[in-house]
């Protein structure tokens, strides 16, 4: 039987080499071997956050916190996933667009362009 900690360490190796697909697979294997291993949930959650699978990242990091609430890495993992979600949901600001008169406007409506011209 494989040791969950050894499998987890193998997942960390994949994560540190930016091999995210294998990292998810290996962290999942560690979780299957020991469903109480908070570090494996945190590792997989961090990978999910890195690849912008925010919902899965938050779910795994939340499980890491539930399993071991004293671990700061669980909280950092959840915060990172939440920040990526907030960034994804934040409305994008329009880039200033030049008008015919050489001035710039951020309002893409025709009325704003006509006033600026």
Alpha carbon separation from 13 to 9, 53, 72 (Å, rounded): 6, 20, 21
Rounded mean pLDDT of the chain?
A: 77
pTM: 0.66
Query: At 17, is the pLDDT very low, low, confident or very high (cuts 50, 70, 90)?
Result: very high
User: Could you tell me if 117 and 97 are in contact, meaning their C-beta atoms sit under 8 angstroms apart?
Assistant: no
Q: Which domains does the chain have, with CATH numbers?
A: 4-89 (1.25.40.10)
- With a cut of 80, say whether residue 77 has pLDDT above it: no
């Amino acid at each position: 039987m494989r040791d969950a900690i050894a499998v987890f360490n193998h997942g960390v190796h994949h994560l540190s080499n930016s091999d995210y697909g294998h990292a998810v697979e290996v962290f999942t294997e560690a979780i299957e071997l020991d469903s109480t291993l908070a570090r494996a949930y945190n590792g997989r959650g961090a990978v999910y956050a890195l690849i912008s699978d925010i919902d899965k990242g938050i779910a795994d990091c939340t499980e890491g916190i539930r399993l071991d609430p004293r671990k700061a890495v669980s909280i950092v993992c959840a915060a990172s996933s939440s920040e990526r979600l907030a960034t994804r949901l934040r409305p994008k600001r329009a880039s200033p667009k030049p008008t015919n008169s050489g001035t710039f406007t951020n309002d893409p409506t025709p009325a704003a362009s006509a006033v600026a011209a």
